[in-house]
Structure 1
């Protein structure tokens, strides 16, 4: 679990940098200020949650894999795809209906963090 999610996290952080650079250099002059703000929000959440995948992987390496950590990683990954992906496409295409699926990615982020917190809390209680 550790190697898989750390690899995915590293690739996703690289993609966040590349997608952010693309927006800054290629899109800034082509889409409006509101659309670029939406795009940048997608990049910000993408990067934060890709780094979170690295943290989940490191935690699995330190504490061992668990079903809660696996769900945390899956949900953070899904959140990046749905939340950030919908914001990228929305900002570039202007397809407003995509704004309706963005919150699904936000819920995935929240659930992923909850699974992570529950796992770490439970393991801490088992040690004391």
Structure 2
């Protein structure tokens, strides 16, 4: 599990840089200000959680159920939150309606919050 968390951290971090550059340069010309702002929120939260995954990947052993659940909460939550935002922001460019993804974003957010709560429990327990 430790390796999965660290691999997810590196992939999410690299993709956040790539997608951030894409948003700052190419997408700036074709998205509305609101769409670009949403896209950037996805990038920011992806990078924040890539860093969190990196930290917990280096400092935790992932020998407990709590730590496993925390890792998967951060991984799945980041994916659902950020990538649903990317797709929703880009859907007008793709010419498709992806409104069904609307509920996926808050679900990803809830999983990220769960990850933070589990991290709190981990720290509290020592």
* TM-score, length-scaled by structure 2: 0.88
What stretches of structure 2 of length at least 5 have no aligned partner? Answer: 93-97
Cα shift at 1:20: 0.9
The aligned runs of 1:15-30 (5 Å cut-off) are 15-30=15-30
Match of 1:51 in 2: 51
**RMSD, aligned α-carbons:** 1.5
The structure where helix makes up a greater share of residues is 1
Q: State how far apart, in whole Å, the 1-side matches of 2:49 and 2:28 are.
A: 24
Contact 1:83 1:106 (8 Å CA) reproduced: yes
Deviation at 1:96, TM superposition (A): 3.6
On the 8 A contact 1:72/1:112 being kept in 2, the answer is yes
Could you tell me which runs of 5 or more consecutive residues in structure 1 were left unpaired when the two chains were aligned: none
Aligned mate of 1:85, from 59, 83, 86: 83
* Alpha-carbon shift at residue 65 of structure 1 (Å): 3.0
Runs of 4+ in 1 over 3 A off after TM superposition: 94-97
Q: Normalising to structure 1: TM-score of the pair?
A: 0.86
Q: How far is the alpha carbon of 1:3 from its aligned partner?
A: 2.9
